[in-house]
Amino acid sequence: MKVFVAGMGVFTALGDNCAGNLSSLLGKRHGILASSRDIDTLMGDFPIAKIAYTNNELAAKAGISPSWPRTALLGVIAAQEAVASSGLDFTKYRSGFISGTTVGGMDSTENFFYSYSKNKSAGHISRIINHECGKISHLIAENIQATNFVTTLNTACSSAANAIAFAARMIKSGRLDIAVAGGTDAITAFTLNGFNTLLLLDDELNRPFDARRKGLNLGEGAGYLVLVSEEIARQNNCQILAELSGYANASDSFHQTALSDEGNGPYLAMECAIKMAGLSASVVGYINLHGTATPNNDLSEGNAILRLFPVKIPAISSTKSFTGHTLGASGGVEAVYSVLALINQTTLPNLRFEIPMPGTELFPETEARKIDLQNVLSNSFGFGGNCCSLLFSKV
């Protein structure tokens, strides 16, 4: 059974919908414009890609309560766009919502903590009832009426990609007709401080796959796909955006926060996704890299690409140079970008690349370039070596 993309939505610092994000990508306008000083943290000045809307503004935009955590607010706006673009009536089918997140309602909990720690009579305990990650998914699912099956994945940076792969499995096994899948994450003090402790942040704008890369910039956002079965697509005469032709998860199992230099996990994830589609590596025209700009990640992913594509390297680029690393949402955001690249038959730029990594000599795309694209690979690799690759094919 084939699984198709019938709708999608995305919300990042580049724009609040698919059209706005695509315009920024093609126009080389990044969204890493804020500073970690804007968040109540214990750290210094690091660039971040924070969406320029307050929670009250987001709530008004989504038509919901401003009491929702920021992660849910970002997610529901992207999910609403995805559902609207599909044109499907979710109440007529077995529809589900499968979402990845690492933050959950942590921003609301932090706000409560700051108030309470200063004044024991300040703050309200209702601020923490949406703390857990699963609660975020249920809030969004109820809003978009995709409630036949709701679940949440947290596999760090591969969360949303794994959610998309899991949604496809649910459809193929006959358990769902339609699934909205992807992820959402907001920036919190806990996350910023954690990555700072791991020495993974860059105090300048990130440089994915560049020899001078020092680390990542954090970002926030949400991205979701509407996946449908072949039968549902035919019954509803859906406008099909792409086929999710392959997907795979592989564990590197090398280190808690690093990948093996050889890129064993990334290699297996990409190889198995391509094999699932019944294709050869040579037909992949573009790879949306995980490309965090950390020394370890880019070297590992680069070596895996060299192993899998020994004759001809596909076009490659990391859109995290625009959005920052949106953590659990990144696989959903970049899945949308991969489908947009496929639809528009274009590569997406990799900002600030100048010098290739020693030993790999890989040259990411620095401009949007029109090429014949039939298959696009989207990579998402998480802590603990949890690696997921999604393959999207033109229909």
Element counts in the chain: helices (H) and strands (E): 12, 13
Beta strands 47-49; 34-35: pairing state: antiparallel
- What is the pLDDT, as a whole number, of residue 231? 94
- What is the pLDDT, as a whole number, of residue 113? 77
Domains 3-235 and 244-393 share a fold: yes
Residue 131 known to be catalytic: no
Which portions of the chain are predicted below pLDDT 50? Answer: none
- What is the pLDDT, as a whole number, of residue 282? 96
- What is the pLDDT, as a whole number, of residue 121? 73
Q: How is residue 20 written in tokens?
A: 């706005």
Catalytic annotation, pick one of 18, 157, 238, 388: 157
Catalytic annotation, pick one of 30, 131, 138, 325: 325
Residue 278 near residue 307 (C-beta atoms within 8 A) = no
Helix axes 106-118, 70-86, angle to 10 degrees: 160
Pick the CATH number of 3-235 from 3.40.50.300, 3.20.20.70, 3.40.47.10, 3.40.220.10: 3.40.47.10
- What is the pLDDT, as a whole number, of residue 37? 86
Q: How is residue 299 written in tokens?
A: 């070297």
Residue 124 known to be catalytic: no
**In this predicted model, what pLDDT tens digit does every residue of 134-178 receive, in sequence order?**
999 999 999 999 999 999 999 999 999 999 999 999 999 999 999
Q: What is the residue whose two structure tokens read 């990508």?
A: 25
Question: What CATH code is assigned to 244-393?
Answer: 3.40.47.10
- What is the pLDDT, as a whole number, of residue 8? 98
φ and ψ of 64, to 5 deg: -135, 180
Q: Closest Cα to residue 64, out of 152, 151, 140?
A: 140
**In this predicted model, what pLDDT tens digit does every residue of 121-145 receive, in sequence order?**
777 777 778 888 899 999 999 999 9
The partner residues of 201 in beta bridges, in order of sequence, read 216
H helices of the chain, where? 18-26, 55-62, 70-86, 106-118, 133-144, 159-172, 189-197, 230-235, 264-276, 295-308, 320-323, 330-344
Catalytic annotation, pick one of 131, 138, 290, 388: 290
- What is the pLDDT, as a whole number, of residue 293? 97
Residue 133 known to be catalytic: no
Instruction: State whether the Cα torsion 395-365-26-13 is positive or negative.
Output: positive
Q: How far apart are CA 326 and CA 234, in angstroms?
A: 34
Q: How is residue 9 written in tokens?
A: 């939505």
What residue spans define the domains of the chain? Answer: 3-235, 244-393
